């Protein structure tokens, strides 16, 4: 909030609201992919203007503290890094000229507070020459069971600023800190918060009649957003594949190229923000494919391969555009697929996201907006196909780095499609299964673009599909330039190859 003209200048420290929305964020994608009649007014308004001009567009709750200490040095502290973290960095770090983050505090262990942790490396202090140092992340026993105690008498210091833990309910934490008394209470499981549910130590620490009046209280609004509306389930008349994302793990634009630009700005990342994402093939979310499978009776099933860090953004943009009403099943390509390790992976997920695997809903949580998932283990064995939502898939094990097995998939009864998003080396049995000289010619090969003039094109030539689309591009690959080069190669080799782009839909009879 800016001061009116004539007021004293702003203090050098500040807080920046990176996100002010609930766990599902606004717009609620359900209101867009399965709209009611009449449409949800708030979610409709949230699309009426660009997000940076629209107060009804709300990312996951997250607060950035720009703390200026007594010697004038700035430290940047974030509370919670959720599912929309990369989007928040891309939008507000660039706008506010935030160069990095010094530490993180987590209030709870749900995805809307921690799923952005994998993207932290892009905003760690770095000189691009040395390895990143240790990066402090503060957690409570309410989150990961270590580091900070939920006790108002046991403050801690993060990047030079003291914080007092404020226990509320057993799954969340909040914090009090600063010369001015700033209370940060970003989240709660309770849809309607009652003061009687707060611990006495919490109230005493923040109330005017207790420890003294706060200068600023940041508190969750605790409002419900309605049930998912019934919508029009009309679907396209045939099967297709939709490229929800075609970028690398960091996605594009690479936020480091924007918040810490080089003397000569990165050309591809600059192009990545030159047009809106839906019109921009150089804007690339995490690699993900949606299969719209129309079976023989005309029923459509929607299957997703991989749901990465940019998943919500992909749903918001491409589900609405392509009128995808829901998802029936999800496949993952990462390589923990033998029975022993897969069991460990399931237990790992259960320990971090118990609400994603439990079958019995806790009393009082009947209306919680969380996913209920049925985890099914598949093996990395070409001879052990499986069926997902009526479509048969053949696992295609490949190497992704040294000693790391990742999966691709072969699918389609009428047309044969192979999807390989993370591959550094083909296993002989996998290459045989998908090559023209082995298991039969593919109608479509979807393959990671490692080095366009090296391993990737050599592999395409050996496999010899009828058509190939490349994904997983980093910021070395400008879309139009590379596709011009690929057109020349395609003409010479007789195999059509090009870079895919986010939102591309290819109709194919599966």
Domain containing residue 76: CATH number: 3.60.15.10
Higher pLDDT: 178 or 333? It is: 333
State the average pLDDT for the chain: 79
Binning pLDDT at 50, 70 and 90, where does residue 261 land?
Answer: confident
pLDDT band at 6 (very low <50, low <70, confident <90, very high): low
Percentage, residues of the chain above pLDDT 70: 74
In a domain, 232, yes or no: no
Q: How many domains does the chain have?
A: 2
Task: Assess whether 188 and 281 both reside in one domain.
Answer: no
- Output the DSSP codes for 414-479: SS-EEEESS-SEE-HHHHHHHSTTTT---SEEEEE-S-TTTHHHHHHHHH--S-EEEE-B-TT--H
Contact residues for 181 (Cβ-Cβ < 8 A; gap 6+): 206, 211, 212, 213, 214, 215, 216
Which of 173, 178, 180, 215 is CA-nearest to residue 198?
A: 173
Which range marks the domain in which residue 57 is found?
Answer: 14-219
Q: Are residues 89 and 193 in the same domain?
A: yes
Structure tokens at 450: 């490692």
Residue that wins the pLDDT comparison between 35 and 386: 386
In terms of domains, do 333 and 475 share one? Answer: yes
Q: Are residues 316 and 199 in the same domain?
A: no
Residue 230 inside a domain? The answer is no
| One domain for residues 29 and 95 | yes
Pick from 190, 219, 248: which residue ends a domain? 219
pLDDT number for residue 199:
59
21-66 per-position pLDDT tens digit: 888 889 988 888 888 888 899 998 988 888 889 999 999 999 999 9
Compute the average pLDDT of residues 92-106. 88
Q: Is 468 helix (H, G, I), strand (E, B) or coil?
A: strand
Note whether 208 and 267 are same-domain residues.
no
Specify the pLDDT at position 133: 58
Q: Would you place residue 4 in the very low, low, confident or very high pLDDT band (cuts 50, 70, 90)?
A: low
Euclidean distance between CA atoms 290 and 325, whole angstroms: 12
Instruction: Establish if 349 belongs to a structural domain.
Output: no
Same structural domain for residues 197 and 251?
A: no
- Specify if 231 maps to a domain: no
Residue 289 above 80 pLDDT? Answer: yes
Strands 137-138 and 156-158: unpaired
Tell me the pLDDT tens digit for each residue of 225-255: 333 344 444 444 589 999 999 999 889 999 8
Same domain for 244 and 194: no
pLDDT of residue 114: 83
In terms of pLDDT, which residue wins out, 10 or 219? 219
Sorted by sequence, the CB contacts under 8 Å of residue 147 that are 6+ apart come out as 138, 139, 140
Inside any domain, residue 6? no
Residue 99 resides in a domain: yes
State yes or no: cis peptide before 386, omega within 30 of 0: no
Looking at per-residue pLDDT, the higher value among 1 and 37 belongs to 37
Whether residue 457 sits in one domain with residue 326: yes
Cβ(219)–Cβ(16) below 8 Å: no
Extract the tokens encoding 200: 């006495």
What are the backbone dihedrals phi and psi of residue 57, each rounded to the nearest 5 degrees, phi first?
Answer: -95, 115
Whether the pLDDT of residue 106 is over 90: the answer is no
Check whether residue 393 and residue 491 sit in a common domain.
Answer: yes
Provide DSSP, 98-114.
Answer: -----EEE-S-SSHHHH
- pLDDT (tens digit per residue) in 109-162: 787 888 888 777 777 776 555 444 567 887 765 555 445 666 677 787 877 888
Q: Which residues contact 422 (CB under 8 A, 6 or more apart)?
A: 287, 333, 334, 398, 400, 406, 448, 472
Q: 186, 219, 252 — which closes off a domain?
A: 219
Radius of gyration of the chain, Cα coordinates, nearest whole angstrom:
25
Q: Which of 219, 249, 276 is the last residue of a domain?
A: 219
- pTM (predicted TM-score): 0.70
Strand pairing category for 103-105 and 137-138:
parallel
Tokens describing residue 418: 């192979």
Q: Are residues 191 and 123 in the same domain?
A: yes
Residue 447 in domain:
yes
22-34 per-position pLDDT tens digit: 888 899 888 888 8
| 3-state DSSP percent of the chain in helix, strand and coil, to 5 | 25, 25, 55
Domain assignment present for 345: no
Task: Decide if 430 contacts 398 (C-beta within 8 A).
Answer: yes
Q: What angle do CA 93, 96, 97 make, to 5 degrees?
A: 75
Q: Residue 440: CA atoms inside 13 Å, Cβ hemisphere, count? A: 9
**pLDDT tens track for 400-453:** 777 778 899 999 999 999 999 988 888 999 999 999 999 999 999 999 997 655
User: Tens digits of per-residue pLDDT, 342-376?
Assistant: 444 455 555 555 555 555 555 555 455 556 667 77
Buried b or exposed e, range 469-483, using 16+ CB within 10 angstroms: bbbbbbbebbbeebb
d(CA 149, CA 159): 18
The candidate with the shortest Cα–Cα distance to 101, out of 80, 75, 67, is: 75
Q: Are 300 and 482 in contact (CB under 8 A)?
A: no
Residue 66, Cβ neighbours under 10 Å: how many? 15
- CA-to-CA distance for 356 and 370, rounded, in angstroms? 7
The predicted structure's pLDDT at residue 362: 55
Q: Are residues 72 and 195 in the same domain?
A: yes
């Amino acid at each position: 909030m800016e001061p009116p003209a004539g007021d004293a200048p702003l203090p050098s420290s500040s807080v920046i609201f990176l996100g002010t929305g609930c766990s599902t964020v606004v717009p609620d994608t359900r209101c867009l992919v399965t709209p009611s009649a009449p449409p949800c007014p708030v979610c409709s308004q949230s699309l009426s203007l660009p997000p940076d001009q629209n107060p009804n567009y709300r990312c996951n709750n997250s607060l950035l503290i720009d703390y200026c200490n007594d010697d004038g040095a700035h430290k940047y502290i974030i509370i919670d890094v959720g599912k929309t973290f990369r989007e928040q960095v891309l939008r507000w770090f660039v706008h506010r000229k935030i160069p990095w983050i010094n530490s993180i505090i987590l209030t709870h262990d749900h995805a809307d507070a921690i799923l952005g942790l994998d993207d932290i490396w892009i905003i760690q202090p770095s000189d691009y020459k040395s390895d990143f140092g240790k990066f402090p992340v503060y957690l409570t026993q309410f989150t990961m069971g270590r580091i900070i105690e939920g006790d108002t008498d046991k403050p801690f210091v993060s990047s030079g600023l003291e914080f007092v833990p404020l226990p509320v309910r057993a799954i969340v934490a909040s914090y009090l800190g600063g010369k001015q008394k700033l209370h940060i209470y970003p989240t709660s499981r309770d849809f309607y918060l009652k003061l009687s549910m707060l611990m006495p130590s919490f109230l005493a620490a923040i109330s005017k009649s207790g420890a003294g009046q706060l200068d600023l209280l940041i508190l969750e609004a605790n409002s419900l957003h309605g049930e998912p509306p019934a919508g029009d389930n009309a679907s396209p008349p045939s099967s297709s594949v939709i490229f929800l994302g075609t970028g690398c793990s960091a996605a594009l634009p690479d936020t480091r190229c924007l918040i810490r630009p080089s003397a000569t700005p990165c050309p591809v990342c600059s192009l990545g923000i030159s047009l809106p994402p839906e019109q921009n093939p150089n804007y690339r979310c995490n690699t993900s494919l949606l299969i719209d499978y129309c079976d023989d009776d005309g029923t459509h099933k929607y299957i997703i391969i991989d749901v990465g860090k940019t998943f919500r953004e992909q749903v918001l943009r491409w589900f609405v555009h392509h009128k995808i009403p829901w998802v029936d099943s999800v496949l993952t390509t990462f390589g923990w697929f033998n029975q022993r390790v897969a069991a460990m992976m399931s237990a790992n997920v259960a320990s971090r996201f118990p609400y994603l695997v439990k079958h019995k809903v806790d009393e009082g949580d009947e209306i919680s907006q969380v996913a209920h998932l049925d985890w099914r283990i598949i093996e990395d064995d070409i001879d052990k196909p499986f069926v997902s939502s009526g479509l048969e898939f053949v696992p295609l094990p490949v190497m992704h780095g040294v000693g790391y097995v990742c999966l691709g998939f072969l699918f389609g009864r009428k047309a044969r499609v192979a999807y390989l998003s993370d591959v550094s080396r083909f296993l002989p049995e996998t290459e045989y299964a998908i090559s023209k000289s082995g298991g039969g010619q593919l109608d479509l090969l979807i393959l990671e673009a490692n080095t366009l003039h090296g391993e990737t094109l050599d592999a395409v030539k050996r496999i010899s599909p009828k058509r190939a689309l490349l994904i997983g591009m980093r910021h070395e690959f400008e879309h139009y330039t590379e596709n011009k080069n690929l057109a020349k190669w395609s003409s010479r080799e007789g195999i059509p190859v090009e870079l895919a782009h986010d939102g591309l839909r290819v109709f194919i009879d599966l």
